Structure 1
Amino acid sequence: MLFNSKELWAERQKLADSIGGLVAEGKVDEARIAEGQVKQLDITLEQVLADEAALRDSARIAEPAARATFGEQILGPRDAFDGIEFGFKAEAADPSVVHVPGPTEVELELPGKPADLLSNFAATLPSVPSSGSVSFKQRSRQIGGPDTWGGVADGKSAKKAKVIYTWKDAVANKEAIAGYVPVSKDTLKDYADLLSIIEGDLLIDLGEKENAKILNGSNSAGIVGVLNTPGIIEFDPAEFDLVAAVGGLYYEAIRCMRTEVMKTARRVPTHVALHPDIKTAIDLYKTSTGLYQVLGDGVIWGMVVVEDFECDGILVYAPACAKKRPVHNITVELGYVNEQFIENELSILAEKTTALQVVYPDAFCYASKAKLDAAAGKTS
């Protein structure tokens, strides 16, 4: 069932008014559920208002031109009529089947690709420009730690504790991400068309591809994504006593993964990236009393939720422990490809070159959806 903005607003007001009454009656859990529903309605209402505004803007229709009647088709225009003579003949459409088409309107604006639906993983990482591929020291594991000295016993001095801090050489290789769009030469004169192609399509596609590379890249001569970086924590749910229900297992796994990062990397993770299917399962997970465990406020266990279709699982992390290293700004060029010179076409090419530098791999803890689901199946 579709609701318009007035109906949604009325529903929101009814829910908002009920919160105070529920709190007064001591029904705190029900009040929190209602509060979460109000937030969800606000999101829906914003979209509906935008859709209604767009519909109103697109409703401008030109007045239809007057069409000749059957008699006017036979006799011609009144101001040009000089009478008819014997032998006169004319044809016109059968008035019983005359079809008068509705008014038409020509839209010259190109529908662009919608902006990013969700904030992605790459958008949460800091970005520091570089002049090319980056050689750096990557933090590795620590061996030993300070301890008390055992002193001298029986004339023999005890050894003091040895501490070894380790780093390893790493390279953040640059990689070019590019794509081109063939267009007619006439399009090069149309500002609106070019703006739609460059900003509404190519730029969005480049950003999505960059995010996929930064998360899942496996090019040994280019970008090696975070999930393929040696040293990140591979979370195994089988080692923990988690609940059987899938939604609950996801929810508890995130908390355990947060602790693993703190213990291993001595960092407090601030973000959790997960696939929208996992976020949905968490949102719909209910306690034994039938109440939702999470009310969809965008924060789980104190960490900002980043829904990303490229993340096939759960990634708990501290963004400052890795950074994007763009080599240069995005470039846009025009040129010919193959037979375009004689086909009145050109190509618009957009390109960006970037690298990924993961300084603290153990500040990233990943669990695949397959492993999490398998663990839920074994315990159920």
Structure 2
Amino acid sequence: MNDSLKLMNELRDLRGRSKDAMASGDTETALRLSGMIEQREADWEAACEAERLASAEQPTAAAPVDPHPIAPQRRPRSLAEAVLGFRDEFRGIDATGNKPIRKQVWLNAGGDQEPATPAALPTPSNVVFPAVPESWDYNLDTSLMEPLGFVGTLPTGTCNGALHYFQANDANALKAAKWKPGEVKKEQTLSWVPKTANEGTIAHWVPVSKLALNDYGQLMSIINQELIAGLHRAADDVALNSDDEGGIVGVLNSGITAYTAKSGDTLIDSMHRMITQSILDTGVAPTHVAMHPLVREKIDLMKSTDGSYLNLDKWGLTVVDDVNLMSGSASSPTYDMLVYAPSGATWYSTDPTTVTVGTINQQMVENTLTVLAEESHLMCVRRPKSFVRLTGIAL
């Protein structure tokens, strides 16, 4: 058996390689190294125990090396790991409800951000959440969470509640006044409208079997994939379409520019004209175009008269698929396209992501539970004319 010092050195090397893999986005290597780290940790503990026994039998024997003072502190690598703890410490979830889980963690919050006492969860009345202590973590690594939809492209921040800010008016392009020698230098008069951004809460939950409460891998997948994907889907819809004056007002309801397609123009033609309109209104060049996936499909599948695909360029814009860009009616839906500069709006987090495990409705007698995740956000749309929208695209 290897001695504890050698095993600890191997552990340090593996942890360093795992950190580098996570930083570079190499999740496959990071997961493989995670398994090796768990095995080395078990080997190290066994070596320490063997050396302690040897030391007790032979008082002159060297004491095992205790690496804790110099070993790097283990930190959660994902939301699920922050909620469930580390695999070697996981002992399952109590299905009786006597020891419920309710964890709160900041995702990408500033390291100096102090957590505020969270308000009561705005959830349906038939969900009961026993009062238990919360646990907090800062700067949680989210490299395993892929951006999804419109909201994933916006700048983000954290704040403690409603924000008062100033929104650029309809003709507030970023430009300077002309000047020539002998004249007093001119300053463009900028006009701003005071606004208040109020917070709102989004939530997503999934059912789990009681048999899964001791399955660490399955719970990791549910929290890191299903719950996060559901929250992002809800956040996309809210960031675009919400019209709650007491909560979040989405971009599409913030006074953006409505573009009308010119007769005979293709979608690619309209996209270029929308880019031009955004620049003329703000002085800032847009970098993204968000569209319903069916609109992107229509563009990508356009063919020439000989049947070959045109493979049309999107004028250098980053294309974002978002199923929430729809218009028309349920019986006769049409679809939208949005050209924009992400810097025109900011998506703020006001409360940490909360994960709760409990029962709702008849789940107690159905041997199932609910895993709930929710977040509170607000959004400031400081430059609405950066967003140019084309609606009514028929397929």
* TM range, smaller chain: 0.5 to 0.7
Partner of residue 212, structure 2: 187
Partner of residue 352, structure 2: 329
CA drift at 1:358:
0.9
Partner of residue 136, structure 1: 165
Secondary structure of the residue aligned to 2:350 is coil
Q: Percent identity?
A: 32
User: Does residue 300 of structure 2 align to residue 277 of structure 1?
Assistant: no
Partner of residue 322, structure 2: 308
Q: RMSD in angstroms over aligned alpha carbons?
A: 3.3
| CA gap 1:271/1:188 in 2 versus in 1, 3 angstroms | same
Deviations 1:21-64 (A, max 9, x none): xxxxxxxxxxxxxxxxxxxxxxxxxxxxxxxxxxxxxxxxxxxx
Deviations 1:209-268 (A, max 9, x none): 1111112222222222111212x110011xx3533xxxxx11110011000001111110
Partner of residue 242, structure 1: 264
CA drift at 1:303:
0.9
Higher helix share: 1
CA drift at 1:183:
3.9
Partner of residue 374, structure 2: 351
Residue 236 (structure 2) aligned to one of 173, 196, 211: 211
Q: Which protein has the larger Cα radius of gyration, Structure 1 or Structure 2?
A: 1
Q: Distance in 2 between the 1:316 and 1:194 partners?
A: 38
Q: Distance in 2 between the 1:180 and 1:213 partners?
A: 17
Unpaired runs of at least 5, structure 1: 1-114, 150-159, 244-248, 375-380
| CA gap 1:345/1:284 in 2 versus in 1, 3 angstroms | closer
Taking structure 1 as the reference length, what is the TM-score of the superposition?
Answer: 0.55
Q: Distance in 1 between the 2:219 and 2:187 partners?
A: 64
CA contact (8 A) 1:258 1:268 kept: yes
CA drift at 1:318:
0.4
Q: Distance in 1 between the 2:389 and 2:354 partners?
A: 34
| CA gap 1:142/1:212 in 2 versus in 1, 3 angstroms | closer
Deviations 1:78-134 (A, max 9, x none): xxxxxxxxxxxxxxxxxxxxxxxxxxxxxxxxxxxxx99984111111111111222
How do 1:85-96 residues align onto structure 2 when only pairs under 5 Å count? none
Unpaired runs of at least 5, structure 2: 1-143, 327-335
| CA gap 1:334/1:165 in 2 versus in 1, 3 angstroms | same
Partner of residue 23, structure 1: none
CA drift at 1:163:
5.7
Aligned residues: 238
CA contact (8 A) 2:202 2:234 kept: yes
User: Does residue 245 of structure 2 align to residue 220 of structure 1?
Assistant: yes
Q: Distance in 1 between the 2:293 and 2:343 partners?
A: 24
CA contact (8 A) 1:142 1:164 kept: no
Q: Distance in 1 between the 2:225 and 2:187 partners?
A: 58
Taking structure 2 as the reference length, what is the TM-score of the superposition?
Answer: 0.53
Name the aligned partner's letter for residue 362 of structure 1: K
How do 1:113-124 residues align onto structure 2 when only pairs under 5 Å count? 119-124=148-153
